[in-house]
Amino acid sequence: MNVQEYIASGILELYVAGVLTEKENLEVAAYAQEYPEIMVEILAIENAILELTRKSSSVNPYSFDTLKPKLDNLESDTKVIPMKKETSNWSSYLGWAASILLAIGLFWVYTQNENLKSEIQLVEQQNQQLEQQIADSDASLEKTQDLLNTLRDKDISVIPLGGQEVSPTSYAKAYWNKQEEKVFIDAQGLPEPPDGFVYQVWSLKLSPLTPTSMGLLEDFAMDDNKVFALNNPNDSEAFGITLEPAGGSESPTLDQLYALGVVSTS
């Protein structure tokens, strides 16, 4: 393109006058970007028009301060703006409504979430309790089976202990494993000892009568199956159970003898 010819054509003057078509305007603007001479020419033309329009102007514009409030309060002045105002109000109401709804929704979701969390905690606790129960049952079952196995052992001799004067309906059983030197006392048939007292088990030699303490049936009330394991290294001829003050006694209180059984000599 010949830039000088383009400038001389007079199109730039018309560009500044604003009488070109949109297409021509875009073309001139593009050339102005591409060729600095064209931009310089446009500026010079515009400058001349500015100079002429300024110097021929007999009108003093209002100060900008007069204009400024009009910029801020435009809404009330024109026809279009009240509609705009209404829409903006409408949309702001809508906005407020939406945000309130959102807040309520968020709060609802939050409380729901909290509820669910505490429910989960509760269920977890219940779960733990159930697991504990299962474990306890397992342990209890194991213990019972152990016990059963022990009692079924071929080396065991069973000695029934009958109720005595103090409590004729009482009874107990001793399962004695001589080889392991252990005695299991099944005290199911004894009444619960009063506070401050405890049952004490004795190994007895009959002639002469010599009692040897084998131990106490501690925590009688708390024991589920009322079977107590005790060591018995003695060569017992009989077993007796007496009620003694807590902690046990050195020698049996014979008038508090609850159950007594003689080992059969077979």
Binding mask 7-26 for other proteins (x = CB under 8 A): -xxxx-xxxxxxx--x--xx
Q: How far is the CB of 95 from other proteins (least distance, A)?
A: 21
Q: Which of 45-53, 85-93, 98-106, 226-234 is the region at the interface with other proteins (rule: CB under 8 A)?
A: 45-53
227, two tokens:
């079977």
Q: Does 57 bind other proteins (CB under 8 A)?
A: yes
Contact between 159 and 177 under an 8 Å Cβ cutoff? The reply is: no
| Angle in degrees, CA 59, 63, 67, rounded to 5 | 110
Q: Does 50 bind other proteins (CB under 8 A)?
A: yes
Give the torsion through C-alpha atoms of 165, 167, 169, 171, to 10 deg.
-90
**d(C-alpha 45, C-alpha 47), whole Å:** 5
Q: How many residues bind other proteins (CB under 8 A)?
A: 44
Residue (69 or 208) nearer to other proteins, CB: 69
Distances in Å between the Cα of 117 and the Cα atoms of 109, 110, 114, 122 are 12, 10, 5, 9
Read off φ and ψ for residue 210, nearest 5 degrees.
Answer: -125, 105
Q: Does 208 bind other proteins (CB under 8 A)?
A: no
Scanning residues 69 to 98, which ones bind other proteins (CB under 8 A)? 70-71, 74, 77
Q: Does 40 bind other proteins (CB under 8 A)?
A: no
**d(C-alpha 202, C-alpha 172), whole Å:** 13
Q: How far is the CB of 77 from other proteins (least distance, A)?
A: 8
Q: Which residues bind other proteins (CB under 8 A)?
A: 8-11, 13-19, 22, 25-26, 29-30, 42, 44-62, 64, 66-68, 70-71, 74, 77
